Amino acid sequence: MYVDTHSKAEMMVESVSDWIKQQVEEAGCKGTVTGLSGGIDSAVVAALSKRVFPEDTLGVIMPCYSEPRDEEDALLFAEHHNINVKNLDLSETYDSMVGKLDDTESTSKMALANIKPRLRMTVLYYYAQTYKYLVLGTSNKSELILGYFTKYGDGAADLLPIATFTKMEVYALARQLEIPERLIKRPPTAGIISGQTDEDEMGFTYDELEKYFKGEQISKDVKNKIERLERINAHKRSMPPIYTPKESLN
Ligand SMILES: Nc1ncnc2c1ncn2[C@@H]1O[C@H](COP(=O)(O)OP(=O)(O)OC[C@H]2O[C@@H]([n+]3cccc(C(=O)O)c3)[C@H](O)[C@@H]2O)[C@@H](O)[C@H]1O
Ligand SMILES: Nc1ncnc2c1ncn2[C@@H]1O[C@H](COP(=O)(O)OP(=O)(O)OP(=O)(O)O)[C@@H](O)[C@H]1O
Ligand SMILES: [Mg+2]
């Protein structure tokens, strides 16, 4: 039977939302909490949850020396989808923590930038435990395979509703969920280093990554870059290795 992309997206939206509901209920919880960045991944995840938990889908906006547009777009989405939000600026908390850390010659820009998602993770788990919610992760297939997230930062979550969808598939879900076009059109950014975009940092485009997933022709250089990230970040997709002694202690 022929099913067009629109009705496929409609069915997928329903199926993922139902899955979120089932997982939350099996955990004995009442709803979900998602960090809202003004980006498309978090908007899609929160909108999926809103369909099944109309009163218990919480979005938390956590600027941390972020571009003003991030907060504007997060609010625009939350108002458009009528999602409960909390707004918590983490810039001072970040300064306070960084002020107490040793600043050595080998401290990298990324070691500092990665503190931001880890502070956000702490807030999300605070609200999860407070309201009996589960934390929704926003990683998509593209990010998960490349390890393009901060370990135990935005990578920390209880459920991963969109981790089997490529970035392009996330856009299809976003259109189905009627996410404001302003969010759909903006270039994906991790939002942890000013002016950075995903594609600039990764060194290839989401289009090229999509072709790689489909086994289509891409340059050798891009293929190498993708496979390198996949390899060096494999540790982010599994539990830490557990030491196992050859004999027991007693
Ligand atoms: N082989 C190995 N086995 C076990 N653990 C290993 C390891 N190699 C490194 N590690 C550990 O992992 C750490 C490095 O990983 P991590 O701390 O994540 O840091 P890292 O991968 O260097 O940086 C995070 C990357 O994710 C991107 N990001 C972050 C947040 C959001 C988004 C987004 O798209 O929104 C993207 C960010 O731009 C950057 O490229 C090391 O410091 C070490 O502790
Ligand atoms: N300012 C912020 N406030 C709250 N949560 C944030 C903020 N910045 C990032 N996050 C969280 O970190 C996640 C990872 O960011 P990521 O950039 O991958 O997703 P996105 O911003 O939703 O979409 P895009 O990749 O298109 O920018 C976000 O989805 C969101 O849950
Ligand atoms: Mg983003």
Q: Which residues of the chain have pLDDT under 50?
A: none
Say if CB 44 and CB 179 are below 8 A apart.
Answer: yes
Q: Measured in angstroms, how far is the CA atom of residue 38 from the centroid of ligand 3?
A: 7
CA distance 211 to 207: 6
Which among 8, 76, 13, 73 has a CA at the least distance from the CA of 45?
Answer: 13
Vertex 34: Cα angle to 7 and 79 (nearest 5): 70
61 is in an annotated binding site: no
Measured by CA distance, the residue closest to atom 20 of ligand 2 is 39
pLDDT of amino acid 212: 96
Contacts of 28 (CB under 8 A, 6+ apart): 132
pLDDT of amino acid 250: 83
Q: Where do runs of H (alpha helix) occur along the chain?
A: 5-26, 40-52, 68-80, 91-100, 109-113, 115-131, 141-146, 167-176, 181-185, 198-202, 206-214, 220-232
CA distance 27 to 34: 17
pLDDT of amino acid 105: 85
pLDDT of amino acid 106: 86
Amino acid at 109: K
Residue in the block written with tokens 């919610």: 133
Q: For residue 151, give the ligand 1 atom closest to its CA.
A: 18
38 is in an annotated binding site: yes
pLDDT of amino acid 3: 61
Residue in the block written with tokens 């981790």: 163
CA distance 95 to 102: 13
pTM of the model: 0.96
Measured by CA distance, the residue closest to atom 9 of ligand 2 is 37
ipTM value > 0.90: yes
Domains of the chain: 5-185 (3.40.50.620), 198-238 (no CATH)
pLDDT of amino acid 1: 52
Roughly what angle, to the nearest 10 degrees, separates helices 115-131 and 91-100? 120
Q: For residue 170, give the ligand 2 atom closest to its CA.
A: 26
